[in-house]
């Protein structure tokens, strides 16, 4: 029995090291995201991130390699809201929306969810947009963000078409929702014009229902 103890100890130590490494990576990414938003991507250095996360510069380079990789990972946790490596449109809350059989109700739920995520996405989007002209990594990230959203909205539009309740083509449904979910419309109406999140979500959902859902004959 004593001969097993070193094996158990090594297994325990290995699991603990992996957990600590994941905690360190999470702390680094969150520090990077917060600094990118607060002071800009171009003005944030790896040393700044190391200082904020309480890590060494060497640890950050070993974990991520470079600042563009950190920017990409920061977007992942921003759009998802956590560290889980799950495609956005396959997350449980999104799947629940996609499973709603009534398209009008589905779009209203989607609008509420989109409003919630916009509070995270809009500051990041603004930061990347402001850096894109001078920073190639930010320009590439901006394009990738658009591609990811388009992929997600393609899935949502395909599901909407399957309900046979669409008043427009599947492609038009995809493009309309894609164009209104990058966080910028939310930013303009909520942050700049003083709308509440509740008002915005109700308006956005109503707009989608009006534009996209086939009306029943009177």
- Confirm if 163 and 103 have CB atoms less than 8 A apart: yes
What is the model's pLDDT at position 199?
Answer: 98
pLDDT at 218 over 70: no
The rounded Cα 94 to chain-centroid distance in angstroms is: 12
Label residue 16 by pLDDT band (50, 70, 90): confident
The DSSP string of the chain is: -GGGHHHHHHHHHHHHHHHHHHHHHHHHHHHHHHHHHHH-TTT--HHHHHHHHT--HHHHHHHHSSHHHHHHHHHHHHHHSSS----GGGSHHHHHHHT-SSHHHHHHHHHHHHHHHHHHHHHHHHHHHHHHTT-HHHHHHHHHHHHHHHHHHHHHHHHHHHTT-BSS-HHHHHHHHHHT-SSHHHIIIIIIT---HHHHHHHHHHHHHHHHBPPPP-
Instruction: Calculate mean pLDDT across residues 65-94.
Output: 82
- Specify the pLDDT at position 3: 52
Q: Which class does domain 1-67 fall in? A: mainly alpha
pLDDT tens for residues 164-210?
999 999 999 999 999 999 899 999 999 999 999 999 999 999 999 99
**CA atoms of 186 and 176, how far apart (whole Å):** 15
Integer Cα distance of 37 and 33 in angstroms:
6
Place of tokens 């700049």: 192
The share of the chain scoring above pLDDT 90, in percent, equals 75
Could you tell me the residue ranges of all domains in the chain?
Answer: 1-67, 86-218
> Is residue 106 scored above 80 in pLDDT?
yes
Task: Compute the distance between CA of residue 159 and CA of residue 177 in angstroms, rounded to an integer.
Answer: 13
Number of residues written out for the chain:
218
Are 72 and 141 in contact by the 8 Å Cβ rule? The answer is yes
């Amino acid at each position: 029995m004593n001969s097993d103890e070193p094996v158990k100890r090594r297994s325990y130590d290995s699991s603990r090291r992996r957990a600590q490494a994941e905690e360190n990576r999470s702390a680094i990414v969150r520090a990077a995201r917060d600094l990118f938003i607060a002071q800009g991507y171009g003005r944030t250095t790896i040393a700044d991130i190391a200082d904020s996360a309480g890590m060494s510069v060497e640890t950050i380079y070993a974990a991520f390699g470079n600042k563009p990789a950190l920017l990409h990972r920061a977007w992942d946790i921003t759009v998802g809201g956590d560290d889980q490596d799950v495609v956005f449109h396959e997350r449980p809350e999104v799947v629940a929306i996609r499973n709603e059989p009534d398209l009008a109700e589905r779009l209203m739920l989607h609008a509420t969810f989109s409003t919630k995520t916009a509070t995270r996405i809009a500051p990041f989007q603004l930061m990347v947009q402001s850096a894109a002209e001078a920073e190639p990594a930010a320009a590439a990230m901006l394009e990738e963000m658009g591609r990811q959203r388009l992929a997600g909205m393609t899935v949502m539009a395909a599901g909407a078409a399957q309900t046979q309740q669409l008043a427009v083509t599947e492609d038009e449904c995809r493009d309309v929702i894609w164009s209104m979910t990058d966080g910028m419309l939310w930013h303009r109406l909520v942050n700049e014009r003083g709308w509440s999140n509740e008002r915005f979500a109700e308006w956005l959902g109503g707009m989608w229902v009006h534009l996209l859902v086939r009306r029943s004959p009177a």
